[in-house]
Structures are given as structure tokens and as C-alpha cells.
């Protein structure tokens, strides 16, 4: 599944030659074929004493889309697929950043990595867009080519298409250049800003330089 790329151990920065690096970064693209359904009214067979929105994944198993619904709580988070998990994570992450002293659920994964934060923000923005609707066949089982007579229209979140994008960072005369569109815009506007690819390379180079300096210090102190 695409979302597993978020946890894949891939070296993001690879030195090709001196002052030349290859950068791998996760990108997110809108995909109208990956729906997460939102329901404000519970189906007849769903009983709950709360009145929260509930969510159903139309990606993992389209033929069971109306049979499994999830609330925003610890129990359902543990049972949900990765798509629903990231919707719940994104909502909690938004609350954490916008509500003073909000207590983030301990059992939820907290977005720390840059890619995780990017996905959370993508989903939050998707949820802010009003009136996104999609036909949802509430009694669908088996082959979805058979359409039930009374479809329901629900609010929809579109889970993005996740893919790796390759860029190149080059260092010339102490200045970092990147092939990404953001850095190209900075250079076109004569701005001194650096894209996050260049920043990551710069931070890596600074870290390596500190390690080299420390090693030289140890060698000079104990072996010379």
C-alpha cells in the first residue's frame, strides 16, 4: 500500500559525487479514487451513545465499505486500517496545534517526521473543503458492479496518492541549488531562501563536519 512508504527505511540523501547529492522525498497528490466516507447519521445497525462523526474506508475493501465504521477513539483507532488511522491522527494533530493544553491521545502515533506532518496537513486541508460528496452504496456486498437501488451521498475525504520524487542538490561556490520547483522559484525571485532539500543537505554536511572535527580532536589529543 502507498501509505506504507511513510514507514519505509529509505536513505533520503545519497551523495553521488563531491558537492552533488540525490534526494528522495515523499510527495502527495490528490486522488479522487481514494475515498474516506464521513457519516453524521449512524446506519440503522450501528448503535452508540455518543454523537460523533464516524468514518468508513472505501479504499481497502470497497465491497465492505458500509460494513465497518470507526469513531475517533482509542478502541477504534487500534482496529482501523492505515487510511482511517491517518484521518484520526490528522484530526488529533490539528487539535493539538490549535487548542491550548489539548491532551493528545497516548495510543495515537504522533506525527514527528516531515513526511508524516505533510500527510496530516494534506488530510486536514481536505477535511476543510466543504460539500465534497460521493455516491456510497450503503448495502453493497460482493461485486460493486451490482448497484443497489437507493445509494446514499456522504461527505468524502480523498486520501492522497503517495509516491517518491527524486531531486538533485548541487553545491557551487558555497551555494546550494536544487532541481525542485520550490528552489527554482526562490532562485527566480532572487531570494536567499533554501528549499527543505537544500536545508537537509546543509544540516547533514554540518553534522558530518562536527563529527570530523571531533575525531581530529581525539586523534590529536591521544595519538599525536
**pLDDT tens-place string over residues 38-80:** 776 544 444 444 445 788 887 876 655 555 778 888 888 888 8
pLDDT of residue 137: 57
- Contact present, 74 and 57 (Cβ < 8 Å): no
User: How crowded is the C-beta side of 51, counted as CA atoms within 13 Å?
Assistant: 0
Closest CA to 89 of 122, 62, 65, 47: 122
pLDDT tens, residue by residue, 87-134: 899 999 999 999 999 999 999 999 988 788 889 998 888 887 755 666
pLDDT at 143 over 60: no
Q: How far apart are CA 122 and CA 183, in angstroms?
A: 21
pLDDT tens, residue by residue, 158-191: 888 888 888 999 999 888 999 988 888 888 888 8
Where does 100-195 have alpha helices with state H?
114-128, 181-188
Q: How many CB atoms lie within 10 A of CB 151?
A: 14
**Domain spans of the chain, in order of start:** 13-25+165-222, 31-159
Whether the CA torsion 178, 184, 188, 189 is positive or negative: it is: negative
Closest CA to 197 of 174, 168, 175: 168
User: How crowded is the C-beta side of 27, counted as CA atoms within 13 Å?
Assistant: 12
Amino acid at each position: 500500500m502507498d501509505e506504507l512508504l511513510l514507514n519505509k527505511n529509505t536513505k533520503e540523501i545519497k551523495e553521488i559525487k563531491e558537492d552533488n547529492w540525490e534526494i528522495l522525498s515523499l510527495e502527495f497528490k490528490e486522488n479522487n479514487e481514494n475515498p474516506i466516507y464521513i457519516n453524521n447519521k449512524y446506519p440503522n445497525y450501528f448503535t452508540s451513545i455518543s454523537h460523533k462523526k464516524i468514518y468508513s474506508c472505501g479504499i481497502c475493501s470497497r465491497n465492505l465499505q458500509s460494513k465497518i465504521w470507526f469513531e475517533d477513539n482509542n478502541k477504534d483507532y487500534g482496529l482501523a486500517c492505515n487510511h482511517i488511522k491517518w484521518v484520526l491522527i490528522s484530526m488529533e494533530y490539528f487539535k493539538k496545534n490549535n487548542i491550548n493544553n489539548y491532551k493528545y491521545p497516548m495510543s495515537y502515533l504522533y506525527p514527528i517526521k516531515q513526511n508524516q506532518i505533510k500527510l496530516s496537513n494534506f488530510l486536514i486541508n481536505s477535511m476543510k473543503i466543504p460539500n465534497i460528496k460521493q455516491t456510497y452504496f450503503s448495502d453493497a456486498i460482493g461485486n460493486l458492479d451490482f448497484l443497489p437501488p437507493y445509494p446514499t451521498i456522504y461527505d468524502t475525504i480523498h486520501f492522497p496518492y503517495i509516491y517518491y520524487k527524486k531531486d538533485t542538490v548541487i553545491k557551487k561556490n558555497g551555494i546550494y541549488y536544487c532541481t525542485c520547483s520550490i528552489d527554482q522559484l526562490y532562485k527566480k525571485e532572487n531570494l536567499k531562501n533554501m528549499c527543505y532539500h537544500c536545508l537537509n543537505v546543509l544540516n547533514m554536511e554540518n553534522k558530518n563536519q562536527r563529527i570530523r572535527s571531533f575525531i581530529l580532536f581525539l586523534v590529536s589529543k591521544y595519538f599525536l
